[in-house]
A and B are shown apart, each in its own frame.
Chain A
Amino acid sequence: MRYSEAGYNLEIDLSTGNIERVETDPVWTELYLGGLGTNAKILWDRVPPETEPFSPDNLLIFSTGLLCSTPAPGANRTMVTTLSPQTQLMAYSMMGGFFAPELKYAGYDKLIIRGKSPSLVYLWIHNDKVEIRDASHLRGKGAVETQEIIKQELKEPKAHVAAIGLAGENRVFFASIEQGRSSASRQGIGAVMGDKGLKAIAVRGTKYDINIVRPAEYIGLCEDVMKYIQHRQANPIPGVMPILSILGSPQEMLHVDEKWHTENFMWGNSRVRKKDFWNKEIEEKWKETQENVRTRLISCYNCPIKCGATISIPGIANYMMKCFSKLTYTMAAFSDLDFGFRIAQRATEYGVDGFSCPQVMAFAVELKEAGILTDKDFEGCPSDNDGRFFWLLDRIVRREGIGDILADGTYWAAQKIGNGAEEYAHNNIKKHEQLPLKLGMLNPIYFLMYATNEKINITQIEGQFPQAPFATMEEKEEFVKDWVQVPDEKFKEYFLKWEFRGEYSMPFYPGVEACCEIVDWMERMHYVDDSLGMCAGLSSFPLKPPYHIHNYPKFISAAAGIDMDADGLTQIAKRNRNLVRANNIRRGMRRADENPPQNHWKKRFPELEEALLDGYYKFKGWNRDGIPTKESLQELNLAYVAEDFIQRGILKNGQD
């Protein structure tokens, strides 16, 4: 019997129709835990670096995490891994919801898809019964609509379905995979699913019990987490903005006060800051809009935090939303919240990333205003602002006219358009659109996170350490009093000393070494979450979360029977981190790619930035070009990676 995991993967070859249930090696669980860790290992072993994202040889992996479906609150994430058409690197987008638990109750830790189906199909996984079914009647259907149709035709209302919309079918580089209230949106994994001719995956699991090695101890740990969540929600952290003061992903569905986002994030193509935007009139109007369409606040599997909402707008189909997509369309189009909710409904059906897509459209509008795109490119486009964005969205997901070029994202579109368009694709890292933020003073911690994070999404590395210093020593002391999550007391010292002005302020404080330690701690917790299938909203993302480096080892050991302590877990997180990086290094990623947008901060410090990157690479055991060294790889049981690097000439034997 296996504990905490199913011990089987489901392997499906869409080219041949072959379906296999394959037992997994328990040693892998000890080395990589599961989730992202084992995904990275499979990708390394089975997908050679010359593989194109749109190749039958590319894998599309849907993975549960080691703790998924155990009683641990929030352990419900699905980690989707493949090669990204946009970044050409390893993509590991994730989603919450109900898919991973359902897959595990069906008896599988992972679903590994290879090949390409000659016609559009969907998968139906019902415990041991797995079918590849015709999906020709679903072609062109919305991602939400598709989930409903499949549940009805299978007569399985309890099935959970992950589906792509028109964007995925047409291989839009920022196409998402939608599932219930959740979506795996970043890095174009929906396009890979579409390329494989796979419209949807329906899962129903009733046969597999999730076993726990030491049940009494485990349930005690889970109950402690539940109690802590209640305590933490009842006692928001003072001195930080509301969305950061409680647990969960930013509570955008709950809060109506958007002063902070609308005045600090950029509008349009990440260009314009509206410093005095928020006023009483707008507040009342937006509050009314939101409360009128928000039917219910909802959660993912086994989680009490309500990060999502059902949105019902009269006259259009209901959908579900979470987090910041409420404002991305609104702000990209210089429009209002009502428009935001309306276009998000269509975008959800099409299945596009709520971060990249609005920025791509705003980029097109800017190019038009600059005369780089012409009236001909916009032929048939309505003249009103909101209408223009709906029109662009429709063109993009159908790859019609200018939409075909825009569908590759701002980086690739700018290359194709030329004529100076590159200057307008100004908000990318590793060819991928970032949050619309433009700030003043360089923040050395965020510099490192933006530069080196391979999820290519700031929310997937930040957390734990406050984003800014606190004003008074009393507030700081109050904050560190119950800061049990720190791996080491020195993090409290870093924070206590941190000030807005003077010797202990940014960009030179925290110093290079402290910045490295802080970033490494934050990243470590994300890597642990992504292997365990834990939602970052209860762990690595918010301040003072219920899960941390001190209690996680107890969870792993009571659930799975793996001997674990904080050092052991840190070592695994490091191994997984290096394995993800190894996949990308082998695909050509180097130091030159680790560069935040030039205008992200107004005040840049090139020498300091070099020193930070040098320091961080060294701290991580990587050479000056960001490549993990032979010694550090060997220390992590990744000698096979070092050998591969040497064979390919990426590392030279005998030198770093």
Chain B
Amino acid sequence: MAKIKKIIKTIKVDVALCNGCRACEMICSAFHAEPKYSSNNPERARIRVIRDPLRDVYLPVYAGEYAEAECMGREKYVLDGREYGECDFCRASCPSRDLFKEPDSGLPLKCDMCEDDPPQEEPLCVKWCINDALIYEEREEEVEEEVELEEMETALKVLLDKYGLQKLTDTVSRLSQKD
């Protein structure tokens, strides 16, 4: 199978440079408001800073995949003498906590790297972090090319699986006669 190039978007988080201001949360929620920047509320942000100033814990975390169930167990990390909580490094919107949930609907939030048309130079959280705790990087990776079905083919395959070939052809011919 052929190899193709894929862009991997990465935000490098340097916790030592975080000044704890939460501008990343604010601008994330503003960017994703409708219309853009018309409102802000960090509770809607797809990045949150886990903060515990007196213990010098500052950890920006991005919203990742939704998890239906919480983990079976938990772990704690001690790094440079600082203890990080059980779920601090986890990106999931999950039943165990109130993080990364749209406050009105409770629906999960997920970082989309500020995909936009025309594209932004970098995610907004990175742009607003002028202390460089957040750095945007892109790298190319070679991945196996997957044989991708065309959109219509995918849709027909679903119908085929559900109703069988006979029903599907009958329906198509009936629809074509109507015109």
Binding site for B on A (CB under 8 A): 69-71, 73, 98, 105, 144, 148, 157-158, 180-181, 206-212, 215-216, 218-219, 226, 229-230, 295-304, 306, 310, 312, 317-320
Contact = CB atoms under 8 A, between A and B. Distances in A.
A299 B20 contact: yes
Interface in B9-55: 19-23, 26-27, 30, 33, 35-44, 51-55
Given A157-B52, A318-B54, A71 B37 contact: yes
B100 interface: no
Given A215-B30, A218-B37, 10 more contacts: A71-B37, A98-B22, A207-B43, A209-B44, A216-B37, A226-B130, A298-B19, A303-B23, A317-B54, A320-B54
Interface in B120-145: 128-131
Nearest to A233: B130
Contacts of B41: 105, 206-210
A560 to B, nearest CB: 13
A219 B21 CA distance: 18
Contacts of B56: 295-296, 310, 312, 318
A230 B130 contact: yes
A73 B23 contact: yes
Nearest to A229: B130
B62 interface: no
Given A299-B19, A303-B23, A69 B40 contact: yes
25 contacts: A73-B23, A105-B41, A157-B51, A157-B52, A206-B43, A206-B103, A207-B41, A210-B41, A211-B39, A219-B37, A298-B19, A298-B53, A299-B19, A299-B21, A300-B21, A301-B21, A301-B26, A302-B21, A303-B23, A304-B19, A304-B21, A304-B129, A318-B55, A320-B53, A320-B54
B103 A207 contact: yes
B130 A304 contact: yes
A226 B128 CA distance: 8
Given A148-B54, A296-B58, A304 B23 contact: yes
A310 B54 contact: yes
Residue of B20, B23, B56, B128 with most chain A CB atoms under a 10 A cut-off: B20
A445 B118 CA distance: 52
A411 to B, nearest CB: 35
Contacts of B33: 209, 215
A210 B103 contact: no
A298 B39 contact: no
Contacts of A73: 23
Contacts of A320: 53-54
Contacts of A303: 21, 23
Contacts of A296: 19, 56, 58
Contact of A210 (B21, B27, B40, B58): B40
Contacts of A207: 41, 43, 103
Contacts of A105: 41-43
B30 A71 contact: yes
Contacts of A181: 53
Contacts of B23: 73, 302-304
A105 B31 CA distance: 17
Nearest to B104: A207
B37 A215 contact: yes
Contacts of B131: 304, 306
A206 B29 CA distance: 12
Nearest first, the 7 A-B pairs at minimum CB distance are: A215-B37, A209-B39, A206-B43, A299-B21, A299-B19, A219-B37, A215-B38
B174 to A, nearest CB: 50
A625 to B, nearest CB: 46
Nearest to A310: B56
A320 B170 CA distance: 75
A69 B30 CA distance: 11
A157 to B, nearest CB: 7
Contacts of B54: 144, 148, 310, 317-320
Interface in B76-109: 103
A248 to B, nearest CB: 12
B52 A298 contact: no
A211 B41 CA distance: 9
Contacts of B43: 105, 206-207
Contacts of A226: 128, 130
Nearest to B52: A157
Interface in B48-70: 51-56, 58
B12 to A, nearest CB: 18
Given A301-B22, A303-B23, A320-B53, A209 B130 contact: no
Contacts of A210: 39-41
